[in-house]
A = this chain, B = another copy of it.
Amino acid sequence: MNTSVASRRHAIADDLRTQIATGHIKAGERLPSEAQLAARYTVSTPTLRNALALLQAEGVVEKVHGKGNFIRHPLPRITYVGGGLAASKTTLDVSVRTTKVRARGHLTDLLQVAAGTPLTEFLYLSHAGKSPHSLARIYVPRDLAPAATPGETSGPKGAAALLAEPRLPLSEIQESVCARLPTPTEAATLRISSTLAVLAITRVATDTTGRIVEVALLALPGDRGEAVFTTQLSTEDRRAEG
């Protein structure tokens, strides 16, 4: 009977999940210490920690070293709508930080500029309550963004609007989406496990002259969001497929 024998950690995780779902444990609350939980379920601490790791990987539990395990608030899901147009259902607090940086690494490739090119970095960090939620970085060549809209801590704002702010006349937007593990920086900033994948969206915006005017990098933790792209097919498109 494979199903009933199923590992203890899963059984414990399931039990905690239902306790959370039924409201016996509420969002934001702290769980009993791992030692107490291990005693309650009569398992060893590593086993109990494995159970918590499952919940952590699902984004249900947030571990804080030295403090305890906390139930995350129900995930406000961001819906990122492609094409630079945002439809936000929720409102999150978004803070913006503007910095001057110089192109290096991937950025030079994405922006198609020489290494060292002056850039303006807009760092968006959205919060759901007191927990960090998602992260976006937008890079614009400095000659195109002469400190326009600088340091605006634009306050509460449409969540999906994070990336959805082309500031310049554009002709084409290309978005590349992949699932990957967070960088150490991202994991720390978002306070997520480094094993919880993020949905990474890279948006490259081109103006009417073909110049790349903006690169946006969005990291959306795990199951905390999705991206939606809608394509209207014209008659020519439909013919082209046949």
* B172 and A230 form a contact (CB under 8 A): yes
A199 and chain B: residue at smallest CB distance: B179
CA distance A57 to B240 in the complex (A): 40
Copies in the complex: 2
Is A4 interfacial (CB 8 A cutoff)?
A: no
Partner of A180 from the list B85, B176, B178, B223 (CB cut-off 8 Å) is B223
Q: Which residues from 174 to 191 on chain A have a C-beta closer than 8 Å to any C-beta of chain B?
A: 174-181
- Interface-facing stretch out of A61-69, A110-118, A231-239: A231-239
Name A54's closest neighbour in chain B (CB-CB).
Answer: B195
Q: Which of B171, B196, B223, B231 contacts A175 (CB 8 A)?
A: B231
Do A231 and B197 touch across chains, with their CB atoms under 8 A apart? no
Q: Does chain B have a CB within 8 A of A225?
A: yes
Q: Across the interface, name the chain B residue whose C-beta is closest to A204.
A: B230
| Bound complex: CA A233 to CA B82 (Å) | 12
Does A169 belong to the interface (CB within 8 Å)?
Answer: yes
| Contact of A231 (CB < 8 Å), options: B82, B181, B198, B228 | B82
Q: 7 tightest CB-CB pairs across the interface, nearest first? A: A197-B197, A179-B179, A83-B231, A178-B226, A179-B199, A177-B227, A173-B231
